[in-house]
Structure 1
Amino acid sequence: MAPTTPMKLIPLPPFKPDLYERAWQSIPHPTLPLLATAHQKSVTVFSLSTLSEHSTLTNGHERSVRSASWKPNLPPHKLCLVTGSFDSTAGLWRWEDEGQGGSGGLEVEITGGAKEDAEEKDWELIVVLDGHDSEIKSVAFSPSGQFLATCSRDKSVWIWEDVGASEADDEWETVAVLNEHEGDVKAVAWCPDTNRSGRGRYGSDVLASASYDDTVRIWREDGEGEWVCVAVLEGHKGTVWGIQWEPNPKNERFPRLLTWSADRTIRVWTLKEEEDEAEAPQHAWSGLGRIPNTMRRSLKEEWVCTDTLPAAHTRDIYSATWSAETGLVASVGSDGIIALYKEEASDVNGKTSTATEDEAAAELDGDVHMSNGHPENKLQTSRQWNLLSTMPNAHGPYEINHITWCKRYDAGCPPDKKGVEEMLVTTGDDGIVRPWQIS
C-alpha cells in the first residue's frame, strides 16, 4: 500500500495592490500569464509574472461584478473578457496591443510588468448583453468561444451565440432561454473539449448549471438546434454554490462533474453510459448533437453521484477547483479554510493501494470485473478521495469566496518550471488575492 502523501500550503507574496474591498472571483487566462479578479464594479487584471496589476476594467457596470470569463482561442496580442454584473447585464470587453501583430508586445509587457504601457491602453466595452430580469451571478464561454452562458437570480440560464461575420465583428444573439430551475441559478460551466471521440450522445457543447433549488442541471443542444435539459442531479441538501467539470478525464471517459454546496459537501457525479451507446461506431451519429435519428425522442441521461469527498468544512463551501495537471481538488468557503484532496486507488477494504489510473478507468467502463461482482455497481470505482491537508484562517477572519489552480510564472518559480508548475490562488472578503505554493 502507498500511504497518502502529506502536502503543505505555503503562502506566496500576495498580489499587489490590495483591492481594499470584497473580491469575488479570480479567473486565470487559458494561455497567457494573466489573472482577472472581479470586485465591486470593476475587474483588475493581474500579471502572474510580477504578481502585480496589469490593467483594470472600469465604468462598465452600475453594480457589483460577480463573475468573469476569458474568451478562448484568440491571437496572443488580443484579449477579450466577459463580465457578469448585479446590474443584470453582461459586458464584453476587448484589449488589444495594436502595435504588435504577434505575441511579443503583450508577452513582454506581462512578464516585465510594464504598467506604464498598459495604462496607455484601455479596455473597451464593446457589447452589453441585456435581457436578464435580475442579477447575473455567473458567466462562462464555451471551449470554442462560440457560445456564452449567463445565469441569474431570475432563475434562468441564457445561451448567447457569436454570430459575427469575423473576429472583429462583435454580434451576439440569444439562442436559448432555459427556465427549468426553481431557484436562483448560481453558476454555469461548459464541459471542456477533451477529445472524447464522439462517445456518448453529446455534441461538443455541454452545459451544467447549479441553483439555489439544491440541484444541478445538464443541458445540451439536440439535433434540431434546441437546447434541452437531459439530466437533473439531485442529492445536495442546500444551495449548490458551484460546479466544475473534470478537466482531464482518463481512458476517454466522459468528464465527471464536481459540485459543492451549502450542505458542506463536495460531490462527484458520473454519466452512466449505455453499452451500445459507448460502443456505437462514429458513423451512426448524425446532426450537430451527434444523436442517432432513432434516438431523438430519448434525450434523458442518467448521472450518478459516485463519490462524496471527506468532510473538511464547518460552513458553506463557496468554491472548489480541480487540477488538470495533478487531479488534486482544493476547496474554500465561509469558514476560511482551504482544504486539499486527492483521489487515490484503494483495495476492497477501502485502504489506499497502488492500482493504476488506467485500471481504475477500465473498471469504471466495465472492462474488468468488479470486486463484488455486481454489475449494478459498475460506477462504484476502486478509488477513493482522501483529505491531504487543511489550512485554517487562510484569509484571517474573512470568508474566502473563490479558489483556482493556475500556472506559476513568478520570480520565485524555478525558470524550468515556469508555465508548468501550479499554484493555488484564493480570493476573499478582505480584498486580497493570495497565491499558495503546494509543497
Structure 2
Amino acid sequence: MASSQSGPAMRPRLRTSFAKGDSFVPFYSGGAVAVTSDGTHIAATFGAEVHVVETHTSRILHTLAGDGEDINSLTMTKDDAYVVTASRALSLKIYQRPDMTLVRTIAKAHEAPVALMATDPTSSLLATGSADGSVKVWDLAGGFCTHAFRGHGGVISALCWNVQARQSGSSERTVQLLTGCVDGKVRVWDLQGSSQAASKPTAVLSAHAGVVRAIGVAPGGRTIVSGARDQTLVFWDWKDGRWHRRDIVLAQERIEALGFVDAASPLFYTAGSQGLLRLWDVKNGQEVHKTQVLEPEEEDDALHGLTDALYAPTCGAIVTVSATQDMAFYALGDGTLTLERQLVGYNDEIVDVALVGDDTLAVASNNTQLRLYKLDTQDHDVVLVDGHRDMVLSLDTSPDRAWLASGSKDRTARIWARASDARDGWVCLGVCEGHAESVGSVAFARQSPGAGAPFLVTASQDRTVKVWDLTALTSASRQDRLSSLLTLKIHDKDINAIDLAPNNGLLVSGSQDRTARVFRVHYQAPSKANQHKAAASLEPLATCKGHKRGVWSVQFSPAEQAFATASSDQTVRLWSLKDFSCVRVFEGHTGSVLRLRFLPSGAQIASSGNDGLVKVWNVRDEECAATIDAHEDKIWALAVRPETAEAPLQIVSGAADSTITLWNDTTAAVESEKAAAAKEATEREQAFSNLLVLKDYRNAIALAFQLNQPRRLLQLFTQVAASRPDHDAIESMDRLLADALGVQRHTDAELGSITGLAAVDRIIAELPRSQVVQLLGYVRDWNTSARTSATAQLVLHAVVRQWEADTLLEAFDEARRAKKEGFVSMAAMLEALLPYTERHYARVDRMLVESAMLDYTLQAMDGVLGPVADAEEREAVDDVEMAEAPEPEDESEEE
C-alpha cells in the first residue's frame, strides 16, 4: 500500500515551458573598430550595420542600420561626441552620441570606397582616405570638404594627425596630416598654408618596402614613427627644417597598428601579425614590454594575428582586435601590459559546448581556441585558451567537471584543467596523439574513484576509437603525450558520436553508416601492488539498425537501461539495452537532428536540429512537451545544466548563427500562473454572475470592460433583451388595470426602452468615451455572426440613438492619440459594420416575404377546402364514425 502511494509522488516532474535567459550574441564580424576614451563603449562593424556595445557586459546598446551596404570604415571623435561611418555606397554618415541619432549624411564623399578615417585632436576635422588614392579633409560641423590631397601611389593605408599648439615666438599652430600608402611612402600635408601650397605634400618619406599600415607622432610633434607590413619600424626626426630618418628597427612581424599612449609619454605600442602587443621607447627605439605569444611550432599568423589596436586615454587601456574577431583589454602600468578582460565579437559556427565546474561554459567554434565563458554574471568576460593547431570539434568534461577534453581537426585530443600558476587559469595536462584523421568525439569515463577520470575514449574520422589511460594525470602533473590502451575500428564510415554508460560498462557509438553499435568495456586500472599496467578492451554486443541516414548523436539514459540516438532522418530513437530493439521513435523535427541530451531525471530528452528548433520529448509517451524556436540556423551544440537551489534547470544551445543561448525552465512558474489565472477567472465569473442576479448592470458592465471580456457583455445584453416585455400585451393589460383600478403599472420610458431596460440604456449613454469606442469594437465582432447579430444591432441602436455623431468622432480621435492596442478608426469601423448589417436586414426581409407567402397560401387553401377543424373536434368525429360503422361478418361462419 505504501509503495503504491509513493510511486506517483516519486515520478519526476516533466518540464513543459522554457524562457530565454542570458545569451552571447555576435556584435563584430571584422573591419573597423572605435572605442570611447574611457573604454566603456565600442563601436564595431557588423556587415552592413554598426553595433554600439557596452564593453562591461557585451550588450548591444544601439544598432546603426546604415544604407544597406557593407561598412568599410568607422571612427569616433576624440571627445566621444560623434561616430562617423563610411560604406560601399560611398556615403559618410555622422551619428551623435550617446543616443546615436543621425545628424548628417554626406553623399558620395569619394569616387571609390573609403578605406579608413581619422579625426583630429580637436574633434572638428575628419580625414578620409579612399581606395582611389585621394585624401579629403572635412569640417564636421559644416559637413563640407576643406582640403583634397591627391598624388598617392595607390590605396590609402594609414592616416595620422599632427596638431601642435602655438609655441612661443610663433603666431600659428601646426596642423599637418600624415598619410601612408601601399607604395610604402609617408606623405606630410600642411593644412595651414595656402590652398596652392597645400595641394602638394611638404615631405615624402620613403623607407618602407611594404604597405604602410600605421603612423604615430611623438609628443611635441618632432618625431614620427611609421610601421609597415615589411616588418619594420622607421623613426623620423625633425631637424634643420626637414624630416630625417633616424633609425630602422626590425619588428619580426607585420605591423598593423601603432600609437602613442600619452601626450607626455615616450612610449608607443605596436600590434602585428604574430598576435603580439608591444611597448616601445621612442627615444632609443627599444622594446620595453610585450604580451605572451604561442610557442613557435604553434604559431599561425592567419588565426592569431592582431588587426588593430586602440588606446583609451581616460582609463589607460589598450584594446587589441584580433583576426578572429576577439578583443582584449590591456591595462597600461609602469611600462607593463596586464590583460584585464577579453570579449568575443564573433564565435563563428558553434559546434559543441560543455559545462565545466559550476559556473563556466566551454565553447568550441570554428576556431583553434577554446573559449570559456563565465555564467550567472552580467560580465561576459571570456578566457581564450590556445593549444590546438586546427579547429576544435568536440568537448566533454570529467565526472567532477574539473577536467575538460577537446578533440580537434589536428588529429589530437587534449586534456585541460585549471591551474593557479597560469594567468588564464587553464593548462594542458596531456595530449592524445595517434589518430590518422580528425577527432570528432571524446568521452570521459562516467565514474571515477578520485578526481578527474581514469580513462578517455576518442573517436575519429579514421573509423577507429582509442582508449587513453589518464591514471597518471593530476592537475599538478603534466604529460606531453598520453598512452593509448586500445585502437579498434568499429564502423565503416565516419564516427560522429560516442558515449559511455553511467557505470563505465558500456560504450555506444553513432556513425554515418546509419548504425549505432554497443560495446562492453573491459577496463583494468593499474595496480602498483601487482605491478599491473592499465588495460582496456571492447567486446561487441549489438549493431542497432533502424535509422535511414547517418547518426549524429548518442547518449545513455541516466535512469533506465536504454540509450537514445539522433539522426539525419529527422527522428530520435530510444533503444533498449535488454534486447537492443527500438522502443520509442520521436518524430517532429523538420530537418536533421544533430544533438540530443537527456534531462537529469531521464524522463525527458532534449534534441536540436538544423531547423533551428530545440524540442523536449517525454520518454514515456513519445509526446513533444515543449518546442523552443531557439536559433536562425542549425543547432550543433546542446547541454543541460542541472537545477540547483539558486537557479532552475537550463538548456544551453549553440548554433551556426554564432549565438549561445541559455533557456531557463519556467514550468513551475507557468503552472503557478495558470492556476492563479484560473482561480481569478473563476472568482470574476462568480462576481459577474452575482451582479447579474442582483441586476446591478452598471457594475456588471464596468467589470466586463475592466476584464476586456466581450463574451460577458454579450451575455448581459442578450439577457436584458430577452427580458424585454411585449409592448402590445402590456399596453392592453395596463388599459384594463387602469379601467378597473385607475393605476398605470408601466411607464412610457419602460415600454420604449431600446435594450430592454431603461437603466441599461442610461448606462450606455453615460459610458466614458474610451469605453464607447471599445464597445463599438465588440459590436463589430458580434455583428459578423447571425447568432449574435440581433444583440449587436440592439446595442448599436442604443449607441447611435444616444450619442451625437460629433461626440463619437471625438472619442475615436482621442483613442487614436492614446495609441490604444487594437485601435480601429471610425471609417474602418463603419466599413466593417455596414456589409454585415445590410446582409442581416436582407435576410429578415426575405423571411417576412416568405412568411407572407405562407399566410397567403394557407388562406387560399381554406377558401377551397373549407376551414379545418381543431384536432380535438376531428378526433371526436372519427370516434363517432367508428362507433356507427357495422361490424365485419365472420367469413368462416358464412362458409
Code of the aligned partner of 1:266: V
Code of the aligned partner of 2:554: V
Check conservation: 2:574, 2:584, Cα contact below 8 A: yes
Aligned to 1:72: 446
For 2:400 and 2:672, the matched residues in 1 are separated by 35
Aligned to 1:118: 478
Which of 515, 536, 548 aligns to 1:182? It is 548
1:148-159 matches, within 5 Å, as 148-159=507-518
SS state of the match for residue 93, structure 1?
strand
Decide which structure has greater helix share: 2
Distance 1:335 1:27, change over 3 A: same
For 2:23 and 2:463, the matched residues in 1 are separated by 40
Q: CA deviation at 1:232?
A: 1.1
Check conservation: 1:142, 1:205, Cα contact below 8 A: no
Check conservation: 2:20, 2:662, Cα contact below 8 A: no
Distance 1:234 1:17, change over 3 A: same
Code of the aligned partner of 2:462: D
Structure 2 unaligned residues grouped into runs of 5+? 1-18, 25-378, 527-533, 677-895
1:47 aligns with 2:417: yes
Aligned to 1:89: 464
Query: Structure 1-normalised TM-score?
Result: 0.60
For 1:47 and 1:241, the matched residues in 2 are separated by 28
Aligned to 1:271: 619
For 1:5 and 1:208, the matched residues in 2 are separated by 26
1:237 aligns with 2:607: no
For 1:144 and 1:334, the matched residues in 2 are separated by 34
Aligned to 2:434: 60
Aligned to 2:604: 256
For 1:183 and 1:189, the matched residues in 2 are separated by 18
Code of the aligned partner of 1:91: K
For 2:20 and 2:460, the matched residues in 1 are separated by 41
For 1:32 and 1:261, the matched residues in 2 are separated by 26
C-alpha deviations, 1:200-229, integer Å up to 9, x for none? xxxx4210000011111100123xxx2111
Q: CA deviation at 1:160?
A: 0.4
Distance 1:303 1:97, change over 3 A: same
Check conservation: 1:239, 1:262, Cα contact below 8 A: yes
For 1:5 and 1:152, the matched residues in 2 are separated by 33
Deviates more, 1:154-163 or 1:257-266: 154-163
- What percent of counterpart residues are identical? 22
Q: CA deviation at 1:260?
A: 0.3
1:164-243 matches, within 5 Å, as 168-193=534-559, 204-222=560-578, 226-243=579-596
Code of the aligned partner of 1:239: S
Q: CA deviation at 1:186?
A: 0.5
C-alpha deviations, 1:10-31, integer Å up to 9, x for none? 3334242253521112211111
C-alpha deviations, 1:13-58, integer Å up to 9, x for none? 4242253521112211111511111111111211145542233334
C-alpha deviations, 1:60-79, integer Å up to 9, x for none? 21000011000122332663
Q: CA deviation at 1:164?
A: 5.5
Check conservation: 2:23, 2:660, Cα contact below 8 A: no
Code of the aligned partner of 1:322: V
Distance 1:354 1:160, change over 3 A: same
SS state of the match for residue 303, structure 1?
coil
Aligned to 2:822: none
Code of the aligned partner of 2:412: S
For 1:331 and 1:190, the matched residues in 2 are separated by 20
Check conservation: 2:22, 2:661, Cα contact below 8 A: no
For 1:5 and 1:82, the matched residues in 2 are separated by 34
C-alpha deviations, 1:98-147, integer Å up to 9, x for none? 8xxxxxxx2xxx2xxx4xx313x641111112120011000100101100
SS state of the match for residue 353, structure 1?
helix
1:252-331 matches, within 5 Å, as 254-272=602-620, 302-309=621-628, 311-325=629-643, 326-331=648-653
Aligned to 1:402: none
For 1:7 and 1:331, the matched residues in 2 are separated by 11
Distance 1:15 1:303, change over 3 A: same
Q: CA deviation at 1:333?
A: 0.7
Structure 1 unaligned residues grouped into runs of 5+? 99-105, 194-203, 273-301, 357-439
For 1:228 and 1:5, the matched residues in 2 are separated by 37
Check conservation: 1:157, 1:177, Cα contact below 8 A: yes
Aligned to 2:489: 130
1:143 aligns with 2:521: no
Distance 1:81 1:163, change over 3 A: closer
Check conservation: 1:329, 1:342, Cα contact below 8 A: yes
Distance 1:47 1:37, change over 3 A: same
Code of the aligned partner of 1:97: A
For 2:521 and 2:454, the matched residues in 1 are separated by 16
C-alpha deviations, 1:372-417, integer Å up to 9, x for none? xxxxxxxxxxxxxxxxxxxxxxxxxxxxxxxxxxxxxxxxxxxxxx
For 1:241 and 1:85, the matched residues in 2 are separated by 17
Check conservation: 1:346, 1:355, Cα contact below 8 A: no
For 1:332 and 1:307, the matched residues in 2 are separated by 18
Distance 1:320 1:6, change over 3 A: closer
Q: CA deviation at 1:169?
A: 4.1
Which of 373, 393, 397 aligns to 1:24? It is 393
Distance 1:355 1:324, change over 3 A: farther
Which of 1 and 2 has greater Rg? 2
Check conservation: 1:151, 1:186, Cα contact below 8 A: yes
Code of the aligned partner of 1:270: N
SS state of the match for residue 478, structure 2?
helix
RMSD: 2.7
Q: CA deviation at 1:258?
A: 0.2
Check conservation: 2:637, 2:653, Cα contact below 8 A: yes
For 1:148 and 1:351, the matched residues in 2 are separated by 39
SS state of the match for residue 588, structure 2?
coil
Distance 1:5 1:146, change over 3 A: closer
Aligned to 1:437: none
SS state of the match for residue 69, structure 1?
strand
Aligned to 1:395: none
Q: CA deviation at 1:94?
A: 0.6
Check conservation: 2:493, 2:511, Cα contact below 8 A: yes
Distance 1:5 1:82, change over 3 A: closer
Check conservation: 2:446, 2:503, Cα contact below 8 A: yes
For 2:551 and 2:469, the matched residues in 1 are separated by 27
Distance 1:68 1:5, change over 3 A: closer
Distance 1:354 1:211, change over 3 A: same
For 1:8 and 1:307, the matched residues in 2 are separated by 20
For 2:20 and 2:484, the matched residues in 1 are separated by 47
